[in-house]
């Protein structure tokens, strides 16, 4: 049997290739965009399956033909090599969300997509698995992950996690929380990098800004793991983030060495919780 590896955002092809090269078991690449040169060996060897998921945002299921092609290649498990937002960004031409309802609409789009994907795969006997379990070297682990002092005391960091859990407890897809202390309202977002970009250039908050990305919902989709990588650090620096707290068990640090090194150079503590 084989593992299916969904890939989508080719602008992050270097990170995706790093993930795929770390997978030691037999696997088939499931591409959601035009195939790039680096995946041609998979195509030639019959280990590449093209996926048209453009209907996911409207709740439409993948085609029976796709499921049949996966079954022909012996796929019994599937993992997403990125985030659900990245998967949808490359398969949906235009988001309908606008204005004040954008956050809720984005969340519902991602929730529906995860549910439909999981249901379609389940009917074919294919189960979703967590990326952190597939490539353990990209897993997070407990405690401070880079040689950087935390900007807050332990009890204050734990308080930030409690506020994050309360804010995202109803979300079965990855939702990040930007914490500004107990006396200031925090912010939740389903597109971390975009939210950090929006904060870039603004004066730093009085209280150290902490980004929290954790799994809370009992049925959180494995297709949307908490994840950080070099782009997250780039925008976190500009948004005056002082610490990133990420799920120790199911979170993923893509391009791990580069991500931790850049965070340490900027004085951003990466902490597994």
CATH code (residue 230): 3.40.140.80
Same domain, residue pair 124 and 245: no
Same domain, residue pair 123 and 143: no
Same domain, residue pair 9 and 115: yes
pLDDT tens column, 75-86: 999 998 877 777
Mean pLDDT is lowest, of 25-29, 52-56, 153-157, for 52-56
Same domain, residue pair 155 and 217: yes
Domain with 166, as residue range(s), is 139-272
Domain count, the chain: 2
Structure confidence at residue 167 (pLDDT): 93
Mean pLDDT value across the chain: 84
Assigned token pair, 237: 């620096």
Same domain, residue pair 88 and 179: no
Same domain, residue pair 70 and 189: no
Q: For the packed helices 256-265 and 230-238, what is the interaxial angle rounded to 10 degrees?
A: 20
Strand partners, 6: 30, 80
Q: For the packed helices 64-72 and 102-123, what is the interaxial angle rounded to 10 degrees?
A: 50
Residue 152 included in any domain: yes
Same domain, residue pair 167 and 206: yes
The pLDDT > 90 percentage for the chain reads 46
pLDDT tens column, 161-216: 999 999 999 888 888 999 999 888 899 888 888 889 889 888 988 899 999 999 99
Same domain, residue pair 115 and 148: no
Residue 117 included in any domain: yes
Residue 11 included in any domain: yes
Give dist(CA 272, CA 117) in Å, integer.
29
Same domain, residue pair 211 and 231: yes
Residue 134 included in any domain: no
Where do runs of H (alpha helix) occur along the chain? Answer: 13-21, 40-44, 64-72, 84-89, 102-123, 131-134, 154-168, 192-199, 230-238, 256-265
């Amino acid at each position: 049997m084989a593992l299916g590896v969904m890939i989508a955002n080719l602008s992050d092809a270097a990170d995706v290739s790093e993930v795929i090269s770390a997978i030691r078991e037999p696997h088939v690449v499931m591409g959601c965009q035009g195939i790039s040169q680096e995946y041609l060996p998979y195509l030639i060897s019959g280990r590449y399956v093209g996926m048209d998921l453009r209907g996911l945002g409207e709740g439409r299921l993948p085609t029976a033909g796709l499921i049949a092609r996966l079954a022909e290649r012996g796929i019994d498990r599937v993992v997403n090599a990125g985030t659900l937002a990245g998967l949808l960004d490359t398969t949906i031409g235009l988001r309908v969300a606008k204005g004040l309802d954008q956050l809720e609409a984005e969340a519902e789009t991602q929730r529906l997509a995860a549910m439909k994907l999981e249901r379609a795969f389940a009917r074919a006997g294919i189960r979703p698995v967590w990326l952190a379990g597939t490539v353990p070297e990209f897993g997070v682990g407990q405690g401070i992950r880079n040689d950087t002092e935390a900007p807050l005391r332990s009890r204050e960091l734990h308080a930030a996690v409690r506020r994050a859990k309360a804010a995202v407890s109803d979300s079965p897809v990855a939702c990040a929380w930007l914490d500004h202390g107990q006396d200031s309202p925090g912010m939740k977002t389903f597109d971390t990098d975009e939210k950090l970009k929006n904060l870039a250039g603004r004066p730093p908050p009085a209280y150290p800004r902490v980004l929290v990305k954790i799994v809370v919902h009992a049925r959180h989709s494995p297709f949307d793991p908490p994840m950080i990588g070099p782009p997250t650090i780039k925008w976190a620096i500009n948004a005056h983030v002082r610490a990133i707290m990420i799920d120790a068990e199911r979170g993923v640090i893509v391009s791990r060495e580069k991500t931790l090194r850049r965070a340490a150079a900027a004085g951003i503590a990466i902490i597994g919780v």
